[in-house]
Structure 1
């Protein structure tokens, strides 16, 4: 049988029965909506003063510990006004349950936890449990922050690996043909980026679609002043998203396991802005304008989500032009 704590919600002075609330567990389908049923006879035997108060209609703020009999629905079988009167085994089980609630930092503490712990274990033990809980929360937070720093460091290494660790020529400015093209190929791009963008050579990109002319150009501007360009990208959202997922070099899903807020923090600390444009052939390339797709100061979604929206808009525009 289980032990509970609750307040008298209703009492019928004529019929001598009432209902007491539950604290520790949610209602089940067999429980009366007003609480657990009890009869005055269970009160009179040990607590006659309380029985007289109930019969007089005074039950506001009346609370007690009780044992539940589930043989015929849910009803009170035994009542204790003081938790010290609860039999040792049942009290020990209850103490274990309460202490587990304090240690479980995955869930927010219930509103009643302070009050019940104080009544069951006293102020000193309640303070100890509260301190232990806060220490656990701090330890987890420190571990999560360390994990974030590690993931961010790995992502940072990937973002700049082409500049610092790849062989010469792996990253470079556009080919001679592109260098000879007019300045208008950078239409829409902030002027200061025109001479900063370093284009990642397609020969180092494994996806075969990256070697088929056409698609989208994506420029990623980082807070450290670097700007990398990727051309002929068929699915910008997937390509850029793969950086964060870690599947390009690190074969790790650590980033995906983070909550969305942590992911956003990393993205905004690393990337300043993302620009993109789409074109179908050389003629369109010469006039296609870059648009700002994502901005760390104003965007409220991950970069690849913004690129997904860009892809949809461009596809809708293509469909409209065909009509």
Structure 2
């Protein structure tokens, strides 16, 4: 395998048998990530993070994967940090009628932070994961997450809040591959995970029932009422944690034509709009970060308002206000807006308010 994998971090100059700590999950992506790095000459140690008791099965799968790959495995305990940085904010956001993305919260504050800390303890200079993204370095010397070869698998959105200290030592070898390429490599290696299904749910809520998870923690849902597009009170709803902006299905209403969730008010009321009207001219952001450090400058960018969305043109005013070049469908407060330019992640922030 040729040395084509690391266009940003200049890993073509590493000393043979330099060490790398790879996040291992037991799935096909991290397993092939290990293989690729070993082919490149790295000495690989695996690491699995136990985020909560719900991850015990994942830890066991990681142990099996490490054994089959013939690498040592570190188990990193993250329970308290994960609870504080990810689970609590996630639950609070849902109870407030927002739509958080826990992976965006976890990556900079828990996952990559703990991987880097363990790597430092072990004297390992590099860290790696099986994310579909790349790391590139600009002429000015800053590192950026970059979009991968696989448009369909692009995970750059999830990594936008990683800092320069992490990016400078991060290897993302899967950024050069399509998913089927990775599966084929795994088949060729005889790995049992080659055709394992992709995980689609939030890792700490494996059954996907967010409301039950939050109620099980003793948190109360916020009650409220459905408000029709004409302002008519349609009666009580199930609680704000059951709804998100842009939602059409599961409303349980017969209005004669399709409707969607247009807004979730602070008092708990869910304001509806008619399907086709769920496009908005702009949004405000909070906690905006700049990949290069400092403040994200005003300017024209491409922006993603959800992980699987296509980047769309916008103008950012430098102070949290975003205006779309053309109205965008249902930006959801709590989700992230990630800015791109030239295929690089330039910054982003959390969606706060939606503008008609």
Tell whether the structures are fold-level matches, with TM greater than 0.5.
Answer: no
- TM-score under structure 1 length normalisation: 0.23
Q: Is the strand fraction higher in 1 or 2?
A: 2
Pick the structure with more helix per residue. 1
> Higher RCO, 1 or 2 (CA under 8 Å, sep at least 6)?
2
